[in-house]
Chain A
Amino acid sequence: MRKFTAALLAVSLVPFLFQNAVRAGSLEAKGGEIVAQILTNPAAFFYEFQQDLEWTTPLPPGSWGGVQLGIFPVLLPMGYANLSGKLRLHPEGRWFPGMPQVDVYGGYWKMLLADMAVKQSDDITSADFHGQYVGLTLTTSVSPKVRLFGGWKYARVRANLQLSKQQDIFGTKVDSFSSGLEDHFLVAGIEYPTGLNKWWTMQFNYGLTQELISAKLGWSGQYFDLGLNVYPEGVLVIHPTWNFHVYF
């Protein structure tokens, strides 16, 4: 079933990922369009990839913590060295019946490819791309199978680039940008187990001041997560994701 669903999702992604290329009539025009969109708000573009690694789902019952490494598309191909962690502060119902599970989480990433590029290229004077996030999740069981979760998240991103000389990227002149983003988010979602150590989740994240909107679908196993993240106002609307995690 999972393979079939993944195949359907992959097929469905094709028009989304390449539609603008078709519209522009050429890959070069498409590239120019994307570059222009990115340069309008560089931090927002890089934050979309940060959201791909943000671990905002609750810990499974019985686990007190966990760590996660975002693999695709954050580590590959974007070059985000990243690590996220999650810690359970309170298991559901321990303090008193009905008291939800309380998790805190956080993570950090830095684009090592940018640092390498600065060292190896004469065209780039400096580059700094990094971000972090922290949050708190409350989770409550509403049936033997269904858990609802929600909470708060704070995230920030820095995206700075300084070139030694102006470059022409798909027709757009670029010599530098310095961009930052931070916001407080409302997170809410639902979790449903599909088997032993397997969960299906759906959640939405909403940035309270920047009006950032995203929705995440996730299929989690014992060690890996497959995801489909949707950024309706983003440069790349749909991101398929693949992350690795370990629970304790």
Chain B
Amino acid sequence: MKKLKSLVFLSAFCALCPSVPVFSAPAENSKVLTPYFNMSLSEMVNFPSQGNLFTGGNMDADIGLLGTINETNSIFALYNFRYLGPSFYPQDTRQFYDRSLSHYMNLEYRLKLGEFRFRPGVAMTIGKRRTGSNEDWDTGLYNMNSQGAAMAVDWLYELGGKSGVITAKYLFRAVEFPNYTDLLREFQQAGSASELSGGLQNQNFGQFTLRSNWNNFTAGISYAKMNYLNQTVIDNTGVYGDTRQKDTDVDFDFGFSAKWWILEFYPNVEYSLYRSNQNFLRYKYFGAPVGNLTDPTAPVTFVNDDYSYNQLALRVPIDINLGVDANWAVSGAVELIRKNYLSRPPRDSDNNYRLGSTQNDFLTRFTVGLRKHLNEVADMRFSYTFTVAESNNHFEMYMPYNYTGHTLGLAYNIRY
């Protein structure tokens, strides 16, 4: 489970990388320096069907500066701070009470030659995560640091009188998990190495992205590869072998934004194919005896290809403005996330695998609320969200898979 959570954490990191606002600070010829500021803040109270209600919040702040040297040369620096607090998260990702923070720094040189713009850059991320407010941020099991470089090429074009851009980008990151420990490895090698601290999840991360934006339409495809430097794959004998872990992730996404009369739409669909050669050894309890590893009800069971999955995510936010020029709007959104594991069988409530099917997780969110334009740069939202999580996995001792939740939220966003 911890390994999967680290994969998900890394996926979140991957998702952050392409979100750097390429066009967030457009150059103005009259300005040498153009600042950029974007901050969103939300606070919410969550009522789960299982367990106690809890509060949570998110904070996301971008501070950027575009330095325009001349018409063809510029430099863009960006700092991002992101905090994610307790919330309802899709199954197999985070627990309700997890909280994380990250610092992302990016320095990019931009060279514009005709219809093309070249953007080499370097970036660094510091990520921290903890499971409760009393845990030390610096000792989080999934803390992650990364450094790397990227090269992007934009083709600026016009089609049908509308401007567009096609971006090809490759980025590389050396990723370190300084605190990550593998309980299985510690358990199995207790005699020779009682504690293996850090390094097991260290990896080289490479990602190629091709993205197009045109006339409020956006579409992209990305291919990411994670080569683990130290972590090896668990063999079907129940011990670690010599093969290094390798994961890949292919993502397709498509979306658009449209405004028609008083209606605003922002639908987006994303399909992911995550593949890993890592397997899993499920211990029912500490010290469980190793017997027939293929027995789904045995104390120790081997699961081949435990982490590979396909995931479909569909989000359809809608705002209905209360008048053509109104500051108030009624907002709503539907979000569907379906994850299908390729090989992992579901478990019953007693932690026994049920062979003959694979685990499917389904998360649905319905949101209604009010949006208020406070001024030219700020929005405020009040919202209610109903969350339904369903899964054929019924082993929920450590992480809930089947629940409903209600969330009341207050959010602010400013952008300049």
Hey, which bits of chain A sit against chain B, CB under 8 A?
A: 5, 8-9, 12, 15-16, 19, 22-23, 37, 40, 98, 140, 142-143, 145-146, 148, 150, 188-190, 192, 194, 200, 202, 204, 206, 211, 213, 215, 217, 230, 232-233, 237-238
Choose among B59, B382, B408 the residue that contacts A215 (Cβ–Cβ < 8 A).
B59
Choose among A12, A190, A238 the residue that contacts B377 (Cβ–Cβ < 8 A).
A190
Instruction: Establish whether residues B37 and A148, one from each chain, have CB atoms under 8 Å apart when the complex forms.
Output: yes
Chain B interface helix/strand/loop/mixed: strand
User: Nearest Cβ distance between residue B121 and chain A, in whole angstroms?
Assistant: 22
User: Nearest Cβ distance between residue B77 and chain A, in whole angstroms?
Assistant: 13
Instruction: Establish whether residues B39 and A204, one from each chain, have CB atoms under 8 Å apart when the complex forms.
Output: yes
Shortest Cβ distance from B380 into A: residue: A5
Instruction: Establish whether residues A148 and B416, one from each chain, have CB atoms under 8 Å apart when the complex forms.
Output: yes
B107 within 8 A of A: no
Bound Cα distance A238, B133 (Å): 16
| Chain B contact patch, size range | 35 or more
User: Known: A148-B416, A202-B378, A232-B99. Contact between A188 and B61, CB under 8 A?
Assistant: yes
B240 within 8 A of A: no
Instruction: Establish whether residues B382 and A145, one from each chain, have CB atoms under 8 Å apart when the complex forms.
Output: no
Bound Cα distance A10, B41 (Å): 17
User: Known: A140-B35, A194-B375. Contact between A19 and B45, CB under 8 A?
Assistant: yes
User: Nearest Cβ distance between residue A180 and chain B, in whole angstroms?
Assistant: 17
User: Nearest Cβ distance between residue A207 and chain B, in whole angstroms?
Assistant: 11
Choose among A5, A211, A213, A237 the residue that contacts B43 (Cβ–Cβ < 8 A).
A237
Instruction: Establish whether residues A215 and B416, one from each chain, have CB atoms under 8 Å apart when the complex forms.
Output: no
User: Known: A202-B41, A202-B412, A211-B128. Contact between A232 and B376, CB under 8 A?
Assistant: no
Choose among B35, B37, B41, B99 the residue that contacts A233 (Cβ–Cβ < 8 A).
B99
Choose among B41, B45, B53 the residue that contacts A230 (Cβ–Cβ < 8 A).
B41
Instruction: Establish whether residues A211 and B416, one from each chain, have CB atoms under 8 Å apart when the complex forms.
Output: no
Bound Cα distance A22, B45 (Å): 12
A-B CB contact pairs (8 Å), 12 listed: A12-B408, A190-B377, A192-B375, A200-B374, A202-B39, A202-B378, A206-B81, A213-B83, A215-B59, A217-B41, A230-B59, A232-B83
B101 within 8 A of A: yes
Instruction: Establish whether residues B414 and A188, one from each chain, have CB atoms under 8 Å apart when the complex forms.
Output: no
Instruction: Establish whether residues B376 and A215, one from each chain, have CB atoms under 8 Å apart when the complex forms.
Output: no
B330 within 8 A of A: no
Shortest Cβ distance from A18 into B: residue: B45
B55 within 8 A of A: yes
CB neighbours of B101 from chain A (8 A): 211, 213
CB within 8 Å of A: which B213-261 residues: none
CB within 8 Å of A: which B26-76 residues: 32-35, 37, 39, 41, 43, 45, 52-57, 59, 61, 63
Bound Cα distance A103, B34 (Å): 21
Bound Cα distance A237, B55 (Å): 8
Instruction: Establish whether residues A148 and B35, one from each chain, have CB atoms under 8 Å apart when the complex forms.
Output: yes
User: Known: A12-B382, A190-B416. Contact between A19 and B53, CB under 8 A?
Assistant: yes
Q: With contacts A192-B375, A230-B57 known, what are 12 further pairs, Cβ within 8 A?
A: A8-B382, A9-B410, A16-B43, A16-B55, A98-B32, A142-B34, A146-B377, A148-B37, A190-B39, A215-B39, A217-B412, A232-B56
Instruction: Establish whether residues A190 and B55, one from each chain, have CB atoms under 8 Å apart when the complex forms.
Output: no
CB neighbours of A190 from chain B (8 A): 37, 39, 377, 414, 416
User: Known: A22-B53, A200-B378. Contact between A188 and B37, CB under 8 A?
Assistant: yes
User: Known: A15-B408, A16-B45, A202-B39. Contact between A146 and B61, CB under 8 A?
Assistant: no
Choose among B56, B59, B137 the residue that contacts A204 (Cβ–Cβ < 8 A).
B59
